Chains A and B, each alone.
Chain A
Amino acid sequence: MSGAPLSRKGVIAFDRQTKGLTGIVVKGFLLSLITFGIYRFWYITNLRRYFWSRTVVAGSPGEYTGRGKELFLGFLVALAILVPVYLVLFAISFAVPSLAALAGPISFIFLFFLGQYAVYRGRRYRASRTLWRGIRLSQDGSAITYVGLALGWWLLTIVTLGIAFPWMRASLERYRINHTLIGESRMASTATGGMIVKPWLLLYVVGLGPLLISVLAFLIANKFSIPSDMMIPDPHKPGQLIFNPVYAGTPLARYGTVVGIVSAIFIPLAVLLFPYYRARETRAFMNAAALGASRLHSSLRARQFYWPYIIYFLTLIGFFVVFAIVVGIAMVIVASGGGDGGTFSGMHWLILLLIVPLYLAMLLAFAVLAVRIITVRLWRAVTDSTTFENVEALDAVLASSRRTASGLNEGLADALDVGGAIEIGF
């Protein structure tokens, strides 16, 4: 009886039964609710510890040693940095209204910088709290460089109308993987944009292409000048915009309609194609990653990324039907019981008291289902389709004496709400 049976060597596997996971989610949801969300740091930690420990890599389960306390302290420090920044931004827009219009774009760019920074630092924290066979993972490299890289690639992606997107993804992936260490051994990625350009082009041509073409046609037909009064306030519904009837029958109206129809069809299509792209990208990037002489091999199929969502949405529909029936019955009871209308009777209050817990129970059920169906299945799709080639080389990994990253690294990510508890992929 060995802890690492030969049959499991070279294989990455995730727990089949996921016993005890529902308990973590229920506890996390309820305690987060009554602690004004503060428990979420401990909840995230519990979830990670669970997922890491259920992922068995070459016979040995992973280990997450992060603490909720560390995340909470990191969050407080991030607040201490962000609060003055926001106060200054607020004071500037208050005192100098001419800058108020710029406050939106400025804070967007600022938040983008900070968000990318936080993503990289958060990954560093997670790596430093991850152990395998007693060997600690780590991440070096500079978050500032990563931000610069991300910014440059995003600009290029925007300028090329999205064509550069795969190369951006590959470049950032290479930076992340090449700065990830397991003990002393550095990982290496040979990811290139060319590997994922096909699935991206499919998404692009089918989903985004028609949209871009219709917008371009719209602009060309109108000689790139859109009248400022194209949309006017609806005289019947204050606060809503309608198309100015003055322009009916002009190219403005005709091409505008085309853009509307095209986006109604192709934006949902692009959303539907996105899991396919993600699956292909994950597979390509996994295949490009190596640790010394040991390579990762992924046989991930796109449909494995679709089933979790399909099952989840079917379950949601089921839940909504049940909820609607319960509410319907409640309405019937109210209609037959409380005849006096107008005032709130005891019956009304009773129903209200029943609806609120029912609503909370529904949210709780959704949280459980989202973790159990989407997160677990996506995670398992990635782990179970990945194997190690030349697994013996892993034994040569040596521990490192590097200092571990502090929990402050991830606080910013939480304060800015970037980076989830569980991220699928490396």
Chain B
Amino acid sequence: MTDGKKVRIATCSLAGCFGCHMSLLDIDERVFDLMQLVEFDRTPLTDIKHCGPCDVGIVEGGVCNAENVHVLKEFRKNCKVLVATGACAITGGLPALRNNIDLWDCFQEVYQYEGGLEGGQVPNDPELPLPFDQVRPIAEVVKVDYFLPGCPPPADAIWKFLSDLIAGREPRLDYEMLHFD
């Protein structure tokens, strides 16, 4: 897709569990092949804090707070192709289980009623991102080019998807690679 130059990829986890990133690492020794073809911009692996111009952006997790929106918009602005990766990015996923529960009730349950937390206070440091009352799929905030489902998507599906994309083919998943669980 880049005429011989290495494909530059950025990844991030918003309201996700890093499971999709783990699944990416699960491609095992194929990671060596991948590294011949790609270089990483912002990812949890490189510790680069902001996303620069990239060919592909891989977003794990839905949008649950204000910081998620900023990161997501930065990805959309810089990435030619944006991929919603995993159930949470695509549907909100398990974090969206809280969508019908009042946010304050959630906080109280976690920080005040649940034992073992010192002080029993809801954290309110101004540096903490503002939480939203609902977790939403990323496609409700920015335009998404591709969806790669699964919780997480199997390593083989990620590999197939990325190799198609890098080779300039329309990504196509076989039946057994398309999973919502």
Chain A partners chain B: no
Binding site for B on A (CB under 8 A): none
Binding site for A on B (CB under 8 A): none
